[in-house]
Structure 1
Amino acid sequence: MKMVASEGEPREEDFKVLSEGLLAHHAKNGHPRKSEKYSIFLKSTNGKVLGGVIVTFLWNGMEVNSLWVDDSISRQGWGRKLMTAVEEEAVKRGCTIAYINTFSYQAPGFYEKLGYKLYGKLEDFPEGSAKNHFSKRLAK
């Protein structure tokens, strides 16, 4: 046996073997993996994307992968509306928890105002900042 390192994206066939092995491990332990992406975008009348949110539903959880609102419409409640909409969708799908990570220079206070609680913090990543991990119990 030998270790083979590579830079950049792994070979597709190698990635597939790794992914299938991990999925089998989850299933063997009673957690078959079924994840689904879901997104909501804010678009101007001419179709320009001005913001949006992308989440992944996995088991009983919703991971917020990306949330962004253009500076031209920030502080107008759009971020809150996007988060409320995906949380409502998560509850419809049976999710009981939502989670996100965000950097200290982004908007940790925004998530706290939405009821998210800090459960972990990686200091000095990137240097001079921190990576914050938040979660929120969703109403059934």
Structure 2
Amino acid sequence: MEQRQTLAPSNAFIAASWLALFIGVIAYNIGLWNATMQLNEKGYYFTVLILGLFSAISVQKAVRDQLEGVPVTNLYYGIAWFTTVLSIVLLTVGLWNAEMAKSEKGFYAMSFVLSLFAAIAVQKNTRDLKASKPEGLF
């Protein structure tokens, strides 16, 4: 197996990734808190966000593991992709059928996508930082 040298991400990229994650998740949740929808609807949208975040991180980890030669079962890989796509579909269907302004729907969609992207970037940064350190420092 070939050893690749992994460069540590810059502090600016790490900070931007964490900031994007916090902005996306906090904005999404502030939107839910202030929304006039029923509590069960708020729970639905919150659960879709959590499912999406966990699934996106799982996809990033599985893809990275495969690239590095770490065994990943096809079942896990498939479930990670399925739940990521499912979270996006569930959000899309929920927003499509929601009785809210188009601008509010767009707000939820954009903060959801920002959160997913940022979660993947944070996971990548965490892994790159660990891989860039010599053995024994972590």
* Length-normalised TM-score, structure 2: 0.30
| Bigger proportion of residues as strand | 1
* Length-normalised TM-score, structure 1: 0.29
